[in-house]
Chains A and B, each alone.
Chain A
Amino acid sequence: MFAMLPLLAAVTTLLQGPPARTTASASRAELAVVAGSAIATAPRAAWAQQDPGDSLYRAGRQLLNRARYPEAARAFNDLIKRYPRSSYTPDAHYWAAFALYRTGDHNNLVAAAALLETQASRFPRAATRGDGDALLARVEGELARQGDSDAAQWVQAHATAATTADTARVAQATCPNEDDDPRIAAMNALMQMDAANAVPVIQRVLERRDPCSVELRRKAVFVLSQKRSDQTEDILLGVARSDPDADVRGQAIFWLSQVGSDKAVTALDSILRTSNDEELRDKAIFALSQIHGPRTAQILRDYAAREGGPEDTREKAVFWLGQQHGESNAAFLRDLYGRVSPSDLKEKIIFSLSQMRSTENTRWLMDLATNSREDVELRKKALFWAGQSGADIGDLTALYDRVSDRDMKEQLIFVYSQRHEPAALDKMIDIARHETDKDLRKKAVFWLGQSHDPRAAQVLLEIINQ
């Protein structure tokens, strides 16, 4: 019994914070063995009908939920030590490691790695094994970032493993996600640690064509987009053009937005013009919208104006032009409105102009709202967005008596209700009291009822008592 105390103490020390890894007397393998031995040889707890580890396990999980990570790690460690035969013990390894990983402390990360390795060797069928390797990859990645050379070596080796297809999986045509998780984590860790080394590895992953690597390639595109390198653009362009999976291609197109070179713009323009896939076109539009410059703006404008082009994609081009907030784009959109016929496209132009918020755009929206030759639904739309984009309340209230269309009057009442100036409330009160059209009066009364202004309540009371 006494002989075991040093082992238990070693695990406890390990979990509570051993000396720095580089100076510790025990290597990582030794620490894992120490942890495993301690668990294997600890005295058995009395085996009750109810699992004796239940309370500690629940306590540990509660502490995890409260982000009290060191205490959670201690609770799981207690469970491991006191109830080595508990059905909770295999998973307690994972959760102790998870809690230690969350602290970010170097020594705790070393302990977390040791726990996960112990779990892998002693409890390979634990429910939490599914994520054990992925968590280990994160832990190793964090250690590598903190300068641990063993961890760096581990990360490099595991990331490289992602570049080759698992022949057994390919033969069986089974692609369980969990097998990819540690590889993705290692690939990501390598990218965070040493981008120059990671890019060639990711490139090889992206060159894979086996069906089981689709998920891996999808994530690899995202990891690659994190850090700019000389090869990033060419790799992304290659994927965008030739990956057999449309989803992977789409992601490469999306993240080309981060590159922004002339070559990328040319490729995106080509995809936009030639692709029959709406999603790919949308992503190309998005990527182009994120690369600011006269050339990309012109491509978007040309596409928005392209007669006979897919309407949905043209609408997206209009939206992203609106997000760029330039006066030249605003002028283009105002002009485009008169040249296009689909009402949905016109609606998007109205919306985009309202988002660009300028006096000129608001005036244009107001003019459109009062243009009786326009479709009433589009006029109402223009009125709403003019109201939302800060049109002068005096202009809006004056408009009520100038328009004769009942729909427009109703819309105006709604626009007033969405404004907070006293003049808007005054106008609604005036309509509620003096409008001859009963339905419009009711509308005004309704919106007054929604107001929190005491004047509105007073007016409603007067109307009730009439």
Chain B
Amino acid sequence: MTPERDENELPAGLREALRDYRQPPAAPREEMWWAISAARSRRRSVRRIMRRAYWGLALAATLILGIGIGRLVSRGTRPLPAGAGSAAYAAASTPYRVAAGQYLARTEVLLTDFSAESRKGRLDPQFLSAARDLLTTTRLMLDSPAADDPQLKVLLQDLELVLAQLTQLPDEPRQRTELDLINQSLIQRGVLTRLRAVTPAAGAATRDQGVL
């Protein structure tokens, strides 16, 4: 029995009612095109300007990293000491801010890569070596003036935990379990989100300094 036959068997009034029932409204094609074209045009304009300003902005972004760190206050998962803020970090000398910016950019790349790689169920040895280097760096950063800022310190501690897990993946059959646990860790602590919130948009500039 096909739906057409069913419909034909219905009384005419009901058939008419059925035709109008849940009829989608006409697609607002003009409006949709307007919105798409507006968004594309806006992106192009901003991109054009930004591309030209990229180099300077990227370096400047490294310098104002403290502002990004400050944003963590509203997203942090732990209460912070009273009166603590990004001021301490902002006041930290520029070399430490540059070093922190560079380190965070590298970590962001690694963890983004991990999210993709872990779906394959196996991690490249080079990836693990990079994670180990970042774990050591994280610990050095934790003991450096860069961690005088409480928000950055909390982020560094979370990164230490994630990287410690990453560097010690067991062989099969437990590897899958561990990968799941690491992914949970990343999600629960909102590590990538927080990392991206404080990482200068253009890591390339900070890489130029290559300091840790």
Footprint of B on A, CB under 8 Å? 54, 58, 61-62, 64-67, 87, 91, 94, 98, 102, 127-128, 130-131, 134-135, 138, 177-178, 180-181, 184-185, 188, 192, 215, 219, 222-223, 225-226, 247, 250-251, 254-255, 257-258, 279, 282-283, 286, 290, 315, 319, 323, 347-348, 351-352, 355, 381, 384, 414, 446, 449-450
Contacts and interface: CB of A to CB of B under 8 A. Distances in A.
B171 interface: yes
A102 B129 CA distance: 24
24 contacts: A64-B185, A67-B78, A91-B168, A130-B168, A131-B168, A180-B136, A185-B139, A219-B212, A223-B140, A225-B95, A226-B145, A251-B210, A257-B95, A283-B209, A283-B210, A286-B95, A286-B209, A290-B94, A319-B56, A381-B52, A384-B49, A446-B41, A446-B42, A449-B38
B210 A184 contact: no
B65 interface: no
Interface string B123-165: 0000001001101110110011100000000000100010010
B199 to A, nearest CB: 19
Given A131-B164, A184-B136, A258-B95, A87 B55 contact: no
Contact of B63 (A62, A323, A351, A352): A323
A65 B191 CA distance: 11
Interface string B149-192: 00000000100010010011111001001000100110011000
A254 B167 contact: no
Nearest to B162: A65
Secondary structure class of chain B's binding surface, majority of residues: helix
A450 B184 contact: no
A414 B52 CA distance: 15
A25 B94 CA distance: 49
A222 B135 CA distance: 15
B53 interface: yes
A282 B209 contact: yes
Nearest to B41: A446
B36 interface: no
Contacts of A254: 95, 209-211
Contacts of A348: 55-56
A61 B168 contact: no
B93 interface: yes
